[in-house]
Amino acid sequence: AEAFNAAAAASAPLNAYCALTPEKALEMADAADARLAAGDAPALCGIPLGIKDLFCTLGVQSQAASGILENFIPPYESTVTTKLWEQGAVMLGKLNMDEFAMGSSNETSVYGPAISPWRRAGANTALTPGGSSGGSAAAVSASICMAATGTDTGGSIRQPAAFTGIVGLKPTYGRCSRWGVVAFASSLDQAGPMTKTVRDAAIMLGAMAGHDPKDSTSADMPVPDFEAALTGDIRGKRIGIPREYRVEGMSEEIDRLWREGAEKLRDAGAEIVDISLPHTKYALPAYYIIAPAEASSNLARYDGVRYGHRAKLAPGDGILDLYEKSRAEGFGREVQRRVMIGAYVLSSGFYDAYYLKAQKVRTLIKRDFETVFADGVDAILTPATPSAAFGIGEMADADPVQMYLNDVFTVTVNLAGLPGISVPAGLDSAGLPLGLQLIGKPWGEAELITVAG
């Protein structure tokens, strides 16, 4: 109880948690003690975790940081969190995030932004921990939990991990069940671990992964011993450096850390090769068509009738007024923007020009990766983000496209369904962390962990 209170106090200024669950934590910690006393020590026994608010947790408010899910308390538990509890983990609470995981700065949350524990040297400007898993990143980075769950649709695990100097792993699409995870863009969403070390990510992924008959896109693939992949031996691995990722406006510091990262891998015996992923420049536009299209469809269920926020009606209002008013009041601006973009690109007059075209581009992006892997490349090294963390409000007030540009290095991986990991690369001249990303082959998380470790 004391440790819990200390964590809660430390967390408050960061706005990392949107709900704390002290009773649940104590109950789970007692259960973990009992298991240990009985000689049963599962992988995560007694490990305190924070859970992104996108995961439904039995009897605990789960709002996806949205007003539309006001007071929603799920009568069920997501598959991924069920697996974590089976391994003995302890829940501290629910973590702040961008509303419905739409954002790169945690500023679209109904709970207000999460704040990074990091500051620029000599300055006191509050910085974003990134998003959408911003609460997860802030909490892990500030040691308010040992590790956290995140979800990644276009970079929401890897970008906040990079901004806060931690490790974030987005698994292959289908590796972790999406059952009980509030849907954003179903063909892109994946849950994954956010941790301090690659070893922790390996252990936690082992607990989260596995086939689930309740999610038809979850793959029936064996879950390897990811921790055993930390051999430290990367001799002979071919690491690709994609020339298209050297984008305009990227800071010299990121470029330098990227080169240093490649040199480190070479010194450890890997072979560094230049590669080309020619369709990279079309990834962001394709993502910002496909993700809103799927979101507009997924979010159609929030109608003010079945659960969550219901608007007060005026005399004479009908069912359409109920839908319109509830959705207008419940959804924030960014979510409304995406629902409108999605409905537009799916509408009969524009479907071929936008949605269908974006799907074709997606296939080309996937083929780019298939080609380099078929040429013998084992993993691809890129920066995780084009810049270090920015200040709260610095980007949110700008053109939304500026915010979308943050995802330039991460969205390709979701479009192709591949695993990617962001690892701390060092600090910039202002003392802020920067991350490097490694991209692996489908189901190649173990190999990725070997190289990242």
- List all residues 6 or more positions away from 425 whose beta carbon is below 8 Å from its beta carbon: 257, 258, 260, 261, 383, 384, 433, 434, 435, 436
Query: What DSSP state is assigned to residue 171?
Result: P
- Cβ proximity to ligand GLN, 55 vs 85, nearer residue: 55
Under 8 Å between Cβ of 235 and 269? yes
Q: How far apart are CA 175 and CA 56, in angstroms?
A: 18
Q: How far apart are CA 417 and CA 397, in angstroms?
A: 32
How far is residue 309 from each of residues 68, 176, 349, measured CA to CA in Å?
Answer: 5, 30, 32
Region of 64 on the Ramachandran plot (φ > 0 left; ψ -120 to 50 alpha; else beta): left
* Least distance CB 292 / ligand GLN (angstroms): 8
Burial-class residue 429 by CB neighbours within 10 Å (0-12, 13-18, 19+). Answer: exposed
* Least distance CB 310 / ligand GLN (angstroms): 27
- Cβ proximity to ligand GLN, 103 vs 442, nearer residue: 103
* Least distance CB 184 / ligand GLN (angstroms): 6
Catalytic residue among 11, 78, 109, 132: 132
Comparing every residue's Cβ against ligand GLN, the nearest one is 156
Under 8 Å between Cβ of 366 and 287? no
Q: How far apart are CA 381 and CA 63, in angstroms?
A: 35
Instruction: List residues near ligand GLN by CB under 6 A.
Output: 101-104, 132, 152-156, 184, 291, 407
Q: How far apart are CA 241 and CA 258, in angstroms?
A: 9
Active site residue 251: no
Which residue has tokens 């490649």? 262
Under 8 Å between Cβ of 105 and 403? yes
How far is residue 219 from each of residues 142, 178, 229, 331, 377, measured CA to CA in Å?
Answer: 34, 11, 21, 33, 24
- Cβ proximity to ligand GLN, 167 vs 291, nearer residue: 291
Q: Report residue 322 as tokens.
A: 């109920």
- Cβ proximity to ligand GLN, 74 vs 103, nearer residue: 103
- Cβ proximity to ligand GLN, 78 vs 156, nearer residue: 156
- Cβ proximity to ligand GLN, 78 vs 326, nearer residue: 78
* Least distance CB 59 / ligand GLN (angstroms): 25
- List all residues 6 or more positions away from 58 whose beta carbon is below 8 Å from its beta carbon: 74, 75, 76, 77
Sheet holding 420-427, edge to edge: 17-20, 90-95, 48-52, 147-152, 190-195, 167-170, 420-427, 433-440, 379-383, 238-242, 271-275
* Least distance CB 102 / ligand GLN (angstroms): 5
Q: How far apart are CA 100 and CA 241, in angstroms?
A: 33
* Least distance CB 147 / ligand GLN (angstroms): 19
b/e sequence 206-231, b meaning 16+ C-beta within 10 Å: bbbbbebeebeebbeeebbebbebbe
Q: Report residue 415 as tokens.
A: 């479009």
Q: How far apart are CA 182 and CA 186, in angstroms?
A: 9
Q: How far apart are CA 387 and CA 154, in angstroms?
A: 16
* Least distance CB 288 / ligand GLN (angstroms): 8
Active site residue 52: yes
Catalytic residue among 105, 133, 136, 156: 156
Under 8 Å between Cβ of 280 and 412? yes
- Cβ proximity to ligand GLN, 146 vs 185, nearer residue: 185
Active site residue 132: yes
Catalytic residue among 24, 52, 170, 441: 52
* Least distance CB 134 / ligand GLN (angstroms): 11
* Least distance CB 414 / ligand GLN (angstroms): 7
* Residues forming the active site: 52, 132, 156
